[in-house]
């Protein structure tokens, strides 16, 4: 079973994404800010991260850059899930290392489909 780390400071969103992913057959761990999320990357070694951008302590941009700069975790698939809808934000998210960029509100069906696609692409890559 693939393990997914969901990082979002909004409890309702965190709970919804967690439920959707569990129904999709995934193991889910959560964090409520970027600093906690980064710590859980190192302690839990997830197969994929779903990352909000607007968070206290450490935002999603900072978390993504730190992960992409770490030789051990630079290949961790990251899906950005955020309210930031501009093309500039989407391009920035992909440019700094996000594998997918989904805006809120999101479709649970689309989220599961994108998670599966990103995991398939990641399993095809060599480290």
**pLDDT class of 113 with cuts at 50, 70, 90:** very high
What sign does the CA torsion over 70, 120, 6, 47 have? Answer: negative
Q: What is the pLDDT of residues 14-30, one digit of tens each?
A: 999 999 999 999 999 99
Asked if the model's pLDDT at residue 127 lies above 90, the reply is no
In terms of Cα–Cα distance, which of 54, 55, 10, 47 is closest to 29?
Answer: 47
Please tell me the distance from the alpha carbon of residue 121 to that of residue 127, in angstroms, as a whole number.
Answer: 12
Q: Domain residue spans in the chain?
A: 3-119
pTM of the model: 0.94
Which helix or strand (DSSP H or E) is residue 92 part of?
helix 87-95
Q: What is the pLDDT of residues 36-80, one digit of tens each?
A: 999 999 999 999 999 999 998 899 999 999 999 999 999 999 999
Pick the CATH number of 3-119 from 3.20.20.70, 3.90.75.20, 3.40.50.2300, 3.30.420.40: 3.40.50.2300
Q: In the prediction, which pLDDT does 85 show?
A: 87
Please tell me the distance from the alpha carbon of residue 102 to that of residue 13, in angstroms, as a whole number.
Answer: 13
pLDDT-above-90 percentage for the chain = 91
Q: In the prediction, which pLDDT does 125 show?
A: 63
The whole-chain average pLDDT of the chain stands at 95
Inter-residue contact 77 to 51 (CB < 8 Å): no
Asked if the model's pLDDT at residue 84 lies above 60, the reply is yes
Q: In the prediction, which pLDDT does 109 show?
A: 96
The DSSP secondary-structure symbol of 3 reads E
**pLDDT class of 2 with cuts at 50, 70, 90:** very high
């Amino acid at each position: 079973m693939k393990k997914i780390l969901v990082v979002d400071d909004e409890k309702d969103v965190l709970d919804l994404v967690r439920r959707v992913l569990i129904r999709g057959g995934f193991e889910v761990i959560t964090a409520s800010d970027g600093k906690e999320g980064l710590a859980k990357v190192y302690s839990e070694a997830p197969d994929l991260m779903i990352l909000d951008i607007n968070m206290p302590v450490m935002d999603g941009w900072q978390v993504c850059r730190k992960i992409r700069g770490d030789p051990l975790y630079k290949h961790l698939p990251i899906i950005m899930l955020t309210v930031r809808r501009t093309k500039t934000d989407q391009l920035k998210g992909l440019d700094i290392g996000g594998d997918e960029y989904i805006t809120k509100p999101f479709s649970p069906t689309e989220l599961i489909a994108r998670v599966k696609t990103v995991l398939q692409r990641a399993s095809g890559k060599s480290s």
